[in-house]
Structure 1
Amino acid sequence: MSEPSPATPRLLDQVRDRIRVKHYSLRTEQAYLDWIKRYILFHGKRHPRDMGKTEIEAFLSHLTVVRNVTASTQNQAKAALLFLYREVLVLELPWLSEVTQAKAPSRLPVVLTVAETRALLNEMDGTWGLVARLLYGSGLRLLESLRLRVKDIDFARGELLIREGKGFKDRVTMLPQSLAGALQQHLARVELLHRADLRDGFGDVYLPYALARKYPNAGRQWGWQYVFPSARRGVDPRSGAIRRHHADEKGMQRAMRAAVLRLGFTKLATPHTLRHSFATHLLEAGQDIRTVQELLGHANVKTTMIYTHVLNRGGRGVISPLDY
């Protein structure tokens, strides 16, 4: 007699496995699973294999009309559902490409003046003040700064190596000389924390892909530790291991929001505003747009050109006739 075949994994487990095979981030995994669950519940727990274009568009319309979500949120939900049908259920159906795509509005970035930026940085101190200076001084995204490893900082060359930024691309950007001393002092304190973790039987950090199996001891080495570790150890949601992850970005968002309120700014400045200000101020100072594009990690210079529209002199240096 042949052995019985193993039970077919639950649909959400299949989605989770497929996402991990394709090396999507944990955030993407959580978002896609959430949207797929909402889609199934919205249609009375029907199996997605028994639904199609009509059900998807009904769900997306509900999000827009009833829930009043933004275009980007609606498109994220659509991406999750198309992933389900294409990658998990492996259904290449002709209607997949015909599902309505919401058009996201084109908005100019919020940018602080040089004076406003200096006032904001002076208002923030401690670890979050250091993170804010990195965002503005190096043009980093918030998660790029929090995911920095010790080995990615080259003090001798004045460089930061950004691993797997947006689009899974590595890039190199500058490390401000004025920040080197404060960053070295911060790392000295972090190293003491890491040594204490090692003494307590911990000190292992998350390593991407199969590096933990290839180099079993690398996770405890100083070079692999996060520059901005979490204040507490936690449970890894994928492996279940207890380790110290990087600091939570919500802490930085709250710290900057508080600083903006204390200063009385009317601009809706967020940590990403510091990256926008980095690019704009470099262009205002006469830096080449291609260089700024490389520092920001933009694939296309058209993305960088959005900052030419927020310069004080206008996109082409045009002076208003009222100022003649």
Structure 2
Amino acid sequence: MRSYLRFRSLQYNEQVAELIAAVPNVAGWRLAAIPETLSDAAIGQILNSFDHETAADLRDYAMVRCLADLGLRAAEVVQIQLDDLNWREGTLQIRRTKSRRGYIIPLPEPTGRAIADYLRLARRATTTSRAVFVRHYAPADVPLGTGRVHQAVRAAYVRCGWTEQSGTHLLRHSVARRLLRSGSSLKEVADVLRHQSIDTTAIYTKIDLQGMEAVALPWPGSKS
């Protein structure tokens, strides 16, 4: 309605300023959206879409595993340094996040193996950059940007035949779904996703169907 009134004002020079001011804004309720997630089978399909034949495939596969296994953001993936990997203890240090705080998280065996395969088989031995994920072509040895992570994910979606899915956060949301289904508490999900406030994690209660079934009241008029 507000757009229509602006059209009348521009097209016919009508005095509708007061009418425009009277049109209420559309309510934008916090946490109103339902996070879109992927099933375990869909995640497996994405990971299986890599052929591991080229250096770029090995690199992109390792990056996608970081997204799908650890729930990292694209910016966190490209900022991983060689010194952040503790192979002896099986941990990964995330130095920079949205909160500018560092975290040490467990490195699952499949994720660590994917990174190790990329470092051994695809990353040039002459690379001087301490960043784990770097360019392979000119300008070579330059750390990747977040755009390349998004491209790798979009390419995997296309190989799976999905044309509507986009974005790396779909994988991050799927990590939350997987944790909730395994019985993790909301606080544990918040810790894995490195949320500073559990209120941010509260949106995932909408996809915790088992939890909602436990507290749902009987439908009025139905048998309890």
Alignment partner, residue 132 of structure 2: 227
Change (3 A) 1:260 1:290: same
Measured in 1, the distance between the counterparts of 2:102 and 2:79 equals 13
Q: What SS does structure 2 have at the residue aligned with 1:160? A: strand
Shift of 1:244: 3.7
Structure 1: stretches of 5+ with no match in the other structure: 1-64, 67-101, 195-202, 206-224, 235-242
Measured in 2, the distance between the counterparts of 1:294 and 1:268 equals 26
Alignment partner, residue 24 of structure 2: none
Q: Over residues 277-306 of structure 1, what are the superposed CA-to-partner deviations in whole Å (9 max), with x where a residue is unaligned?
A: 111101110123222211211001111121
Shift of 1:272: 1.7
Q: Over residues 192-240 of structure 1, what are the superposed CA-to-partner deviations in whole Å (9 max), with x where a residue is unaligned?
A: 141xxxxxxxx3x4xxxxxxxxxxxxxxxxxxx0110122455xxxxxx
Considering Cα pairs closer than 8 Å and 6+ residues apart, tell me whether 1 or 2 has the greater RCO: 2
The count of aligned residue pairs is 191
Contact 2:153 2:168 in 1 (8 A): yes
Q: Over residues 154-200 of structure 1, what are the superposed CA-to-partner deviations in whole Å (9 max), with x where a residue is unaligned?
A: 12222111012112111122211123233222223425141xxxxxx
2:76 aligned to which of 140, 144, 164:
144
Alignment partner, residue 279 of structure 1: 176
Structure 2: stretches of 5+ with no match in the other structure: 1-5, 8-26
Measured in 2, the distance between the counterparts of 1:283 and 1:316 equals 13
TM-score (norm 1): 0.51
Aligned Cα RMSD in Å? 3.2
Q: Over residues 296-322 of structure 1, what are the superposed CA-to-partner deviations in whole Å (9 max), with x where a residue is unaligned?
A: 110011111211211343646457869
Q: 1:144-293 to 2 correspondence within 5 Å?
A: 144-188=76-120, 189-190=122-123, 192-194=125-127, 203=128, 205=129, 225-232=130-137, 234=139, 244-265=141-162, 268-293=165-190
Change (3 A) 1:303 1:156: same
Q: Which runs of 4+ in 1 moved over 6 A?
A: 319-322
Alignment partner, residue 303 of structure 1: 200
Measured in 1, the distance between the counterparts of 2:156 and 2:124 equals 28
